[in-house]
Structure 1
Amino acid sequence: MAEPQKNNNTNNSTQITTRVTVPPYMKAISGSVGGIVEACCLQPIDVIKTRLQLDRAGNYKGILHCGTTVANTEGVRALWKGLTPFATHLTLKYALRMGTNAVLQSAFKDSETGKLSYQGRLFSGFGAGVLEALVIVTPFEVVKIRLQQQKGLSPELLKYKGPIHCARMTIREEGIRGLWSGAAPTVMRNGTNQAAMFSAKFMFDKALWNKQEGDGTVLQPWQSMISGFLAGTAGPICTGPFDVVKTRLMAQSKSGNNVKYTGMVHAIKTIYAEEGLRALWRGLLPRLMRIPPGQAIMWAVADQLTGLYEKRFLQSAPL
């Protein structure tokens, strides 16, 4: 009777060990694939969000009015303006985010127990958000926002003819630093968002489905979507002012040295003084319409890929 018990203990040890074996590159790949699917599905909502945040004259009465106005005056294709930089941006961003978070979580784990504390999970998410903001998010969003704020589809009437042309024009007129306009609020927004999102996703997976990282079980896509949707709701509410300021700073051209906002703090004060407190959360509803569903889509894809990897690894592990 002792031998079966020994085997069970060996199996348990194998499962505990394999909880930390999903490599960062696999997390990065899963995030990239999820980002492509998310971008194609939700680009129109992102265009509407950007137009609302840049609307100082009150031309748009709400989300539906903004969407129908853009479609009627500029064509339905205008709702997918900036898709190429947005999809590329999401693909690279999620690869860096998921991979970096996995690396940082490994670094923050207790060397003796192998467990990750709540604080370590928060710091890992924040670090991943800061890195993605500086390396990928800021320059890509500068290009995306400047393309999205252009009205019309006739190339001869547009200042920027496409993503590459926009990046070149920005560098020519403002220097390479122009591609990092709005970096400070972007760092604050992304760092806070990812700290909350990774922690919340882990807690919802555990509370709702008894799923733990590396246990070999594969969540159903609808389960991942629920956890991802819930995890993606807190960030937009907390970081609304950072997102509005980021958009305003990225949209303004510095070529003539005549800018309305000189930095993050100045932008917050100016928007509050001129437009009121509610203006700092302008575009919140379309963000809530885009980010939680986007996280639901991304996690549904990412969890399937990492879950299948975990399951295959555990099944092939020696007993």
Structure 2
Amino acid sequence: MAENGNRNQNQAKIVPPYIKAIAGSIGGVVEACCLQPIDVIKTRLQLDRSGTYKGIIHCGATVARTEGVRALWKGLTPFATHLTLKYALRMGTNAVLQAAFKDPKTGMLTNQARLISGFGAGALEALVIVTPFEVVKIRLQQQRGLSPELLKYKGPVHCAHLIIREEGLLGMWAGAAPTVMRNGTNQAAMFTAKYTFDKLLWIKQEGDGKVLQPWQSMISGFLAGTAGPICTGPFDVVKTRLMAQGQAGVDGKYKGMFHAIKTIFAEEGLLTLWKGLLPRLMRIPPGQAIMWAVADQVTAMYEKKLLAA
């Protein structure tokens, strides 16, 4: 009886998926506002075939000098919206999948199940949210200048409308395959690593009532966010190229994910498949640090106040 009571008590302390979703969405807003310039620079570097930009600092300085400082926040609206929805779906889906994979008797979750849950959450977010929002974001970011009359896309809504009209609805899902591979792999690694670092560094497990300080969450989140960009660099470059070219554009040289990888490797060399890696490392690990610092505090409020009642 006592064992059953302890088991039920532990199960009751599991944070529900909707709390995880809310925590992730709030963290996404904060992350987007802080790190949008790095994302703009990453996109410009990945699309630069002529060597216009000499590096991260030169790219940022050139954009700010020639297009204005506000250009570094191009695409912020779709980026912030997409991060908010993406993190809500990611955190919620991962929580649901982890609950489904837990051993019903012990409540334990294996590392393999944690990886599968993370990949499933990443793949779903890629198809439902990330791909269409990033298509719009990249089309906006690749435009040079700020004068509306000189720009093809006047804003996020106009951009989406024009893409659908000119390229069909599937145009919003250009680059979906590499996006699924990138996000699935990223989240499989990230959720597993975050759990591992929390446990090793801070002796923290979900539902134990221990509240991490924001700086502790930032360290765990930063470390968890480093492996993904290195492993998924080629998928990210290919995704950006496919999304930028469109389906009916004159620059439609890439026929799909594998054709793009082969073509980029043959024409531009192996290292091009990791182009933009440094700005990704400047954006993703700090982004995960910011997001987890916020998300962990929201989750801790639920654990501390509601579950203690």
**TM-score, length of structure 1 as denominator length:** 0.94
How many residue pairs are counted as aligned between the two chains?
Answer: 309
Alignment of 1:123-162 (within 5 A): 123-162=116-155
Specify every segment of 5 or more residues in structure 2 that has no aligned partner in the other structure, as ranges: none
Q: Could you report, residue by residue, the CA deviation over 1:243-279 in whole angstroms, capped at 9, with x for unpaired residues?
A: 0000000000222476110000000000000000000
**Per-residue deviation at 1:217?**
1.2
Query: Is 1:217 aligned with 2:194?
Result: no
Question: Which residue does the alignment assign to 2:275?
Answer: 282
Q: Could you report, residue by residue, the CA deviation over 1:269-316 in whole angstroms, capped at 9, with x for unpaired residues?
A: 000000000000000000000000000000000000001101113321
Query: Is 1:42 aligned with 2:35?
Result: yes
Question: Which residue does the alignment assign to 2:158?
Answer: 165
Structure of greater Rg: 1
Question: Which residue does the alignment assign to 2:175?
Answer: 182
Aligned-partner residue type, residue 307 of structure 1:
A
Q: Is the 8 A contact 1:142 1:180 kept in 2?
A: yes
Q: Is the 8 A contact 2:174 2:247 kept in 1?
A: no
Question: Which residue does the alignment assign to 1:191?
Answer: 184
Q: Is the 8 A contact 1:18 1:215 kept in 2?
A: no
Q: What SS is found at the alignment partner of 2:308?
A: helix
Q: Distance in 1 between matches of 2:247 and 2:112?
A: 40
Q: What SS is found at the alignment partner of 1:230?
A: helix
Runs ≥4 in structure 1, deviation > 3 angstroms?
Answer: 9-15
For residue 82 of structure 1, the aligned residue among 65, 71, 75 is 75
Q: Distance in 2 between matches of 1:272 and 1:13?
A: 54
Q: Could you report, residue by residue, the CA deviation over 1:162-181 in whole angstroms, capped at 9, with x for unpaired residues?
A: 00000001000100000000
Range moving further from structure 2, 255-264 or 118-127:
255-264
Aligned-partner residue type, residue 73 of structure 1:
T
Question: Which residue does the alignment assign to 1:238?
Answer: 231
Question: Which residue does the alignment assign to 1:3?
Answer: none
**Per-residue deviation at 1:17?**
3.0
Q: Could you report, residue by residue, the CA deviation over 1:191-245 in whole angstroms, capped at 9, with x for unpaired residues?
A: 0000000000000000000000111111000000000000000000000000000
Query: Is 1:17 aligned with 2:11?
Result: yes
Q: Could you report, residue by residue, the CA deviation over 1:56-101 in whole angstroms, capped at 9, with x for unpaired residues?
A: 0000000000000000000000000000000000000000000000
Q: Percent identity, aligned pairs only?
A: 79
For residue 56 of structure 1, the aligned residue among 49, 57, 71 is 49
Range moving further from structure 2, 252-261 or 295-304:
252-261
Q: Distance in 1 between matches of 2:124 and 2:249?
A: 30
Q: What SS is found at the alignment partner of 2:146?
A: coil
Q: Is the 8 A contact 1:15 1:215 kept in 2?
A: no
For residue 202 of structure 1, the aligned residue among 195, 217, 222 is 195
Query: Is 1:100 aligned with 2:93?
Result: yes
Root-mean-square deviation (Å): 1.5
**TM-score, length of structure 2 as denominator length:** 0.97
Q: What SS is found at the alignment partner of 2:307?
A: helix
